[in-house]
Amino acid sequence: MKKVKFVFALHNHQPVGNFGHVYEEAYQKSYLPLVEALREYPDFRFNLHYTGDLFAWLDREHPDYMGMLREMVQQGQVEMLTGGYYEPILALLPDADKVGQILKLSDYIEKRFGRRPTGMWLAERVWEPHLPAPIAAAGVDYVVVDDFHFKMAGLRDEDLTGYYVTEEQGHAIKVFPGSERLRYTLPFMEPEETIKYFKGLLGSGCGCGSGHNPLAAMADDGEKFGVWPGTHKWVYKDGWLKRFMKALAASSDWVEPTTFGDYIKEEGPMGRFYLPTSSYMEMGEWSLPPAAMREYDHFVAELNNDPEFDLKRLFVKGGFFRNFLYKYPESNAMHKRMLQVSAKVHRALAATGGSRHERDAMLDALYQGQCNDAFWHGVFGGLYLPHLRDAVYRGLIKAEEAAERILAGESGDPLSLEVADMDGDLAEEVFVTNGSVALLMKPSDGGTLTEFDFRPVSMNLMDNLSRTEEAYHDKIKDAAHEEEKPACGAAKTIHDAVRVKEKGLSDYLVYDWYRRASLIDHFLGPDAGLDDFRRCRYDEAGDFVKGAYTVKTSRTKERVKTTLERLGVVSGMPVRVVKTVVVRKESSGFEADYEITNEGTEELNAAFGVEFNFSLLAGDAFDRYFEIPGHTLKARNFASAGELNNVRSVRMVDDWLGYEMELSLGHEAALWRFPVETVSQSEAGYERVFQSSCLTPVWRVSLAPGVPWKVRLGLNIRRK
């Protein structure tokens, strides 16, 4: 008698840099109660995947739980899955890091649980056709993706009742399709819906030969069994899990829980198949630009009314994961910095310097900087969460510092200069380090400073995020005057829930027309004020903000000098801006000398401002604040706003992380300050997030023809 072989596979993950209380809440609401409950059903075999950072936290905080997992693995109830240790998107990594991340987690699992994993979880199911080669090189036998991957290439449900073999240049692996249908029924619908689906697999003929036992695989996030809104009550207190296990027991003569590895032992492949570039269907939607995303949503909604929807949706795929790097320039900047650091790390690994411990720590820091969550955004906060981006940069900064130390040797010069296309846009960037700070400048985009690392605290203090239009902002505008109705009945999937976490969010839907960097050169219209500037509703009289600057660099033993120059236009008149950024060998900061010259024949009166954006992580914390000499601030937290005249310097103090940064302005200026706040969606609802503090000194200047106006700005940082 044929049986439906049911694989229940859960992926448990917390991103690097997430808060400890988030780990603990997920543990108490999902990780612990689910495993404890399933342990009571020893015949229920299933797959589990945990990412390396979560394993490390569990080892440290809940060793008894890890002991329970080991016992279940040893008894054969649980089969562990490997993957990238810090949950990277494999397709975005150099091949050496793909293999290294997988081997690191496989080695950990074998050591901790006594069995080496043969299958792997693919982060966000992001598949590209080149992946079989590095996956096979890491010793992996099979991988799990969505059935959507197969359907995009023409297979139907009846073709997806087993697994397939795929390959790249002869490197073959097995690929399992996880059921999208089961992702939406478990645990959000009553168990009868799942049993009905199982019966359909037996009754359809399965498109398979005699003796083939059809596979039904549910492979999805473990957090949906307790952490997602409403699911803890629904799964445990309302008894969904007990009802589901009871329904399985009642169907045990024709439904058999198993694992991917055991299914391979019992059933051969259904053939060879090649998967297209893809992820799950929702990811294709999220990676689209806003206008295309609206059109996509409208099209899918119309298609839902078509009785042949299931047949036609095979040809609806949305976008491509890598275009998050287009959608969010800050994501691309992180990714390309990761590639730059990876290359340095592997050069250092090939060199002879450094102890084994130092080299292992360097590689681990690089891997931490590859954690996927901060590189994209969907229904979870992802890229919009500053602490996740900060964790990525912390890993990269630590890895880069270690690599440079090994490559330079103990007597090496910490002062270095690199000029190259570092972000893949065919234009050169400038990267300067002196062992204490690192600066990344982008001449082609306003001659701006896009990264400023302070290595003693491993922090990029200009890890900013621009305010970007999102298609789901339409829902916030539509709901601006509506009150949220209380949830009732079964838990909704995270894709269906709509929650606004505070009133008035629509007032914060402001979009930047340029990237929030630093050393941004503004010539402001005569009516520009702080509020209009903050909301991007002012007139820009010049063409310098996004204009291309020429660049010249020079280096001596004591300093690196970068000269950025642009001949542009202000109110129809030619104006030349030259800014020279100097990083000295022994400094913990830089100087920026400005020289502005009216190249026209008439006097020009203008308001000139230099915009800085500092990613200071906590906008309202009492121990992170501004100090402005000569002025008393009513509110001094980093999310405060205001305009002050006659300012010569401003200090930013972080007592929590232990540093103090001072921006000196040269001449007295009017200082505008305000928080840059985004509005994004998360699993808990739509929310406002503090991204950075914008500081813009503004000078009223009268420029006679040919007579330069000069000012020296300085930024210095020190440990407290």
* Active-site amino acid positions: 124, 221
Amino acid at 213: N
Q: By the 8 A CB rule, do 406 and 362 touch?
A: yes
Distance CA 134, CA 90 (A): 9
Torsion, CA 328, CA 280, CA 380, CA 490, rounded to 10? 150
Q: Which amino acid does the sequence have at 52?
A: G
Tokens 């992946």 belong to residue: 131
The two three-digit tokens of residue 599, written as one number: 């190249």
Question: Are residues 6 and 214 in contact, defined by beta-carbon separation less than 8 angstroms?
Answer: no
Region of 417 (left: φ > 0; alpha: ψ -120 to 50; beta: rest) is beta
User: What is the spatial distance between Cα 123 and Cα 128, in angstroms, rounded to a whole number?
Assistant: 12
Q: Based on the number of CB atoms within 10 Å of its own CB, is 268 exposed (0-12), middle (13-18) or buried (19 or more)?
A: exposed
Contact call for residues 480 and 536 (beta carbons, < 8 A) = no
Query: Bridge partners of 457?
Result: none
In angstroms, rounded to a whole number, what is the distance separating the alpha carbons of residues 129 and 278?
A: 9
- DSSP assignment, residue 127? B
CA–CA distances in Å: residue 377 to residues 287, 327, 562:
8, 10, 35
Q: Of 201, 198, 177, give the one whose Cα is nearest residue 269.
A: 177
Characterize the bridge pairing of strands 604-614 and 573-584.
Answer: unpaired
3-state secondary structure of 106: helix
Pairing of strands 142-146, 171-178: parallel
